Every structure is written in structure tokens, then in C-alpha cells.
Homo-oligomer: A and B are copies of this chain.
Amino acid sequence: MLSVEDARARILEPLTPLSAEFVALDFAWGRVTARPVAARLSNPPADISAMDGYAVRACDTGPGARLAIIGAAPAGHPFTGAMSTGESVRVFTGSVMPAGSDAVLIQENASRDGDRLTVHEAVAAGRHIRRAGQDFARADIVLPAGRRLGARDIGVVAAANHAWVACHRRPIVALLATGDEVAFPGEPIPPGGIANSNTPMLAAVIRAAGGEALVLPPVADNIAAIAGSIDGLRCDMLVTIGGASVGDHDLVQAALAEHGLAVDFWKIAMRPGKPLMHGRLQRDTPVLGLPGNPVSALVCALQFLLPAIARMTGDRAEILERDSAVLAAPVGGNDQRADHLRASLTRDTAGGYVVRAFDRQDSGMLRRLADSEALILRPPHAPALPEGARVEIIRLDRFGL
């Protein structure tokens, strides 16, 4: 059976960042840049004052020196003349420095009497001036391609005077739930049936990862119906839920075969999570077949679907960030399957993570998964560990999961 890492590598290998679209700045938060962003102006655009005070010539200053105030330069209204010896101009934080000035005398170090200024303290040339381009110069690359835009990045894009940003298209990920027993929440539930938790949950995962969920209407356990439900479908990835193994009632692979399914693999050494199917349809649409068990589906979505969507969005950051934590209680040894123990998470007094695996790890317990702040990663054949041992964890809330 394939390892989690090998399976992920095979899923990611053929995926590339999607083509670009031009996104209005106001909608660009959380999107990923498709090109580097170059500054359209310098920041600051000119030498500006960093304080409220008076633009002066440093050589004119010294305790008791008297200067003429020949004007003011409030922000947005630069002083248009030039300053000579013995002159000063009132400035404010952000004011453009008048021609001829070379320093700012802060207002606390001067007294004003009409248009006369008495200096209390000498000021060095260059004092309290922010130089043009100190933050960035026109044509500087202020953000790289492949950057998921946080609020501070949006600030930089705006400061560089862009109202539109080239971002990678959001991947459209189609979700197909099959099964006679599955009813969407609020729909009539057949005898022995259940409310479909997988589709809404996975649609949320897709959104959290930066994709767009395309939810297909539910389909009964019938090869022709399943095959027909994806006629004409255009998407960047098809995710099927349930029916991926080879039991008597697992019809999805048979139905997808009519659309040219080439199966890459369908078994992986992980728990919860088996079976997972990976393959491609005609026109190279990648297919990921997630287990029908919701806990297994979510863990597989974390390990495979999130990184796949991140790759298609062009995000270059490490998506599956792990943390180190200390065990609050022992864990047993592991078999050949990578395990994902549902666990509660607290902090010790030094701020470090402490995790405790829940006693029952039944993959039927979705509510227990919702209560889990973290998954403890247990590699294949990992030995039993005592309380206090270090383990790798994944915080579920980190990904909107």
C-alpha cells in the first residue's frame, strides 16, 4: 500500500497553478498573486516630514536662533516656493519637505510668535525626514508571485497604486455524493438513510483552501445515473464521495470508467482514510475518490485535497504546517498505517502545546472530530510513547477545518 507522502506526491505531481484572472483589489484578500506586483510609484513619493513641526535648514538652528515662517505645507498641499537662509515652513506628518529645507524641527522644540519662530535646540541635517522611496521605489517588486494576500499585502498593493491584481483562478472542484442512503440536510431521509454531512463539509474545505465548490445533485447507486451526472461537467478536479472501494455496491469506478477513468491508485496506508482513489478522466480532469465515512473523508481532505487545491491556486507556502506538542497521556504503538489521532489541545505555562488523544478513535464519530482541536500524526510502525513525549500535530482550525 502507498504511503501518505507518496500518495500526496502523485496527486500533486500533474497539478499546476491555474491561469490568471484580474481581480479588483477589494476582492483580492485571500487570493494568490499570479505575477509579481511592481510599484507604480515610490513610497514615500517625495522626502516627507515624519513629525509635526517646522522644515528648516539645519545650519540655521541652535538654541535661541530666530527664523521667519514663510508658509505652511499641510499634507496634500506642498509648499510651492523655496526656502532660503533664516526661513522655515510649517509642516505636519506626511508633508512634502519644501525645496531648500534639510531637516524638521519638532514643534515641541520651538516657540511660535506670529510668523516668527524661536528655536530651542539645534537639529541635525536629515532629522525627522522620511526619504523618497525609503519603503519602496517605483518599479520595485513589492510582492512576489505565488503569495496568498493577507490584509497587510493588500495594503502594499494599494500603496503601490494598483486597483486590480493578477491572481490565479480559483479551482472549481466538483463534489459528487453517491448512495441510495444519502439525503442532503433537510431533504426526506429514506429508511435506513442518513443526512449527508460529507458534501457540505467538503464544500467548506474547498472554500477554506481557496477553491470554488460545485455541488452536484445527489445520485443513486446506479452506474448509468452516476455516469450521466457528470456528462458535460467542466471542472478543475472531481471529488467523489463514497463508493471508491471494490465492494458489491461501489459503483463509482465503474461509472467513471465510461468517462475514460484511468486509475492511478486506490489504496493508501493510512487510518482513518482507506479507501482513497486517485485517477484522471478524459481531458485530464483529476479525480479524487474520498471515503464515504465523514471522519475519513475529512482527514483525507486535509492530507490530499487541501494541498491539491493550494497547488492549483498557486500558493507557494507550505500548506500542511505541523506543530510540535507534548503528550498529556501515553499513546500506543502503531501498525503499518499512518494514523491521525483525534486530540484535545491545551497550552503549558511556557506557551507550548499539550495534546491528549481521545480514548475512542472510532472513525464513525464525527462530533468527536468537531471537538478535536488537533490531529496527532503517528507514522507507520511508530512505537508506543509515554506521557511527556514529543509528537507532531496538525491544528485543524489553522486551515478553516
Contacts and interface: CB of A to CB of B under 8 A. Distances in A.
Interface of A: 25-26, 29-30, 41, 43-46, 50, 52, 73-78, 90, 92-96, 130, 134-136, 142-143, 149-164, 179-182, 184-186, 189-205, 207-208, 215, 221, 247-249, 292-294, 298, 301, 322-324, 350-352, 362, 364-370, 372, 390, 392, 396-397, 400-401
A162 B185 contact: yes
Contact of A151 (B43, B195, B201, B365): B201
Given A155-B197, A159-B195, A190-B76, A366 B203 contact: no
14 contacts: A45-B194, A75-B180, A93-B247, A94-B181, A135-B366, A151-B201, A151-B401, A154-B203, A154-B204, A155-B198, A158-B200, A159-B367, A163-B184, A163-B185
A193 B78 CA distance: 9
Nearest to A162: B185
B92 A152 contact: no
Contact of A154 (B43, B149, B200): B200
A252 B199 CA distance: 49
Contacts of A401: 150-152
Given A136-B367, A366-B135, A204 B29 contact: yes
Best-buried of A25, A152, A205 by chain B (most CB within 10 Å) = A152
Nearest to A324: B351
Contacts of A196: 158
B221 A392 contact: no
A285 B136 CA distance: 38
Contact of A186 (B94, B96, B162, B190): B162
